[in-house]
Structure 1
Amino acid sequence: MLNRTILIGRLVADPELKYTPSGVAVAQFKLAVDRPFTNNGNRETDFIPIVTWRQLAETCANYLRKGRLTAVEGRVQVRNYENNEGKRIYVTEIVADNVRFLESNRSQPDPNEPDHRRNYDKDPFADDGKPIDINDDDLPF
């Protein structure tokens, strides 16, 4: 038997982190996943509940935010309980054991934080072969 699912979608809201009475972390969030077909030209979306446990739950709560593109791998779980009115409630959810963050955590860089990537983004050959001013103290040999 096999119970495995892989989903890619965007978070509907920030994850909600809670702890069980024994101190185990559990995070819940919903993933908006587009269906691969359209209905009268409109693409339909499923809002799938995701549950993560322990360290993965804390990581998701710390780094995932609403709207972020995320991949989730896990298993489908159907559970049920009786509500206050005595009615049996069924819940279908994905229990994730692997979550991948597919986009950067921020849409725009913080202007107060130095951008260490800017030196890597420069084209080293942009000066068209002009001499480079290097101090002898900078050379490793």
Structure 2
Amino acid sequence: MKTSGSAVWQGGIKDGKGAISTKSGAMKDYPYGFSSRFEGKPGTNPEELIGAAHAGCFTMALSLILGEAKLKADHMETKAEVTLDQVADGFAITSVHLTLKAKIPGADDATFQELAGKAKAGCPVSKLLNAKITLDATLES
């Protein structure tokens, strides 16, 4: 499988503007720029998109792993907090922290933690990122 995303940019780093699109059309010419990345202004930024991609990939991978263990989630919600730090040669994504809340009938916490850990290590986005990736998983009753 191959898919794509694209970006366009006009102007300098601080006064410039960009737009991000996905092949599927889920995002089309969605604005991004310095102000949305570093100043909390409207628009998106690469880090939040990576967070959304990682949360989606991890949650889908866990669904597969649960199925292999004869379990099925009633509900799973994952947040991926991406940290962008200034480093010696510029900026780097230095960590991603996944927070998962899940309701899975028939799962005990030990099994849940083991399967969530496998999903964290095995999802394709986790494998792509060269950052410290941590996980807090909560099994809800």
TM range (shorter): under 0.3
Query: With structure 2 as the length reference, what TM-score do the two structures score?
Result: 0.25
Greater percentage in strand: 1
Query: With structure 1 as the length reference, what TM-score do the two structures score?
Result: 0.25
Greater percentage in helix: 2
